[in-house]
Amino acid sequence: MATHRIHHRTVTVRGLDVYYREAGPADAPVLLLLHGFPSSSHMFRDLIPLLADRYRVIAPDHIGFGRSATPDPAEFRYTFDELAGITEEFTDLLGLERYALYIQDYGAPIGLRLALARPERVTAIVTQNGNAYEEGLGAEAWAPVLALIEKRTPQTEAPVREIYSPEGIKWQYLHGVPDPTLVSPDAYEHDTARIARPGQAEIQLDLISDYGANFALYPAFHAYFRESRVPLLAVWGAHDEIFVPEGALAFRRDLPEAEIHLLPAGHFALETHADQVAALIRDFLARTLRHGNGPGSLLVADLPARVRGADQPMCGYP
């Protein structure tokens, strides 16, 4: 597999700097990677080199995250509509007329808004713990967020602030991981440092408060799936208690041919299973981008042991 350098670039959208990582041939099919909370394109640092020989891989940092601009909440509305609008303009600026989406956590409602706005652009979707169904919401993890969405008060804000505390961020990376020693501390310490910057506490609280707007769009997302029959691959950390496996299985309701794989991992599956995720993506996109939304599904059990890892069992749902 050829090695491709990762470029670190910045463009201006609506007067705001949007940082992004890019690798791969300029004329290759595009894969747009959209990160989740509380991370950034940093979460794709291991995945990008595994895909860049065959795809033009682009991973932006959302406004308020990573190395992108973090405008004052008094001057910028931190909502998912706003982040999706900026991401759409970002794709226009880069001339991305067709692309496959990789969506994780916050990246899901942002990316699926792009699909609603420009369905003709989306060639396929890879969702890694990127939820679109109520069944995917872990009851315990979501209880404080749902209380905040229902009524924002200092009392409902307090437990939500713990979610992006240093311990809360570390929990998201390590919880449900069979061998936590495989997770580099650099990952959660990187996120913790970015979230600790001035103004971040209110930025993240505003976005979490807006998450209810995503629930309101779930029926539209489901209709998009049914009408478009977009090829979809779910590679899901089975031990994630934020977006639980039922959320992965639910895609089959609207996309019967969706390919679903539950990995022995947590919320940030790439920290421990980047090789396996890359192998599944390469196989999936090679088939779907060449042949369209055809029948058939790859079972994890059919993968060579060198790909899936003899000591890393997975569950594949055909």
Distance CA 270, CA 265 (A): 9
C-alpha radius of gyration, the chain, whole number: 18
Measure the CA–CA gap between 34 and 87, rounded to whole angstroms. Answer: 9
φ, ψ of residue 169 in degrees (nearest 5): -65, -45
Q: Which residues are catalytic?
A: 267
Local structure of residue 280 (DSSP, 8 states): H
| DSSP-derived secondary structure for 59-81 | EEPPTTSTTS----TTTS---HH
CA 227 to each of CA 55, 103, 190, 220, 221: distance values in angstroms, whole numbers, following the listed order: 27, 20, 40, 10, 10
Reference 234, options 137, 318, 306; nearest CA is 318
DSSP string, 283-300: HHHHHHHHH-S-S----G
Q: Which residues contact 169 (CB under 8 A, 6 or more apart)?
A: 38, 188, 191, 192, 195
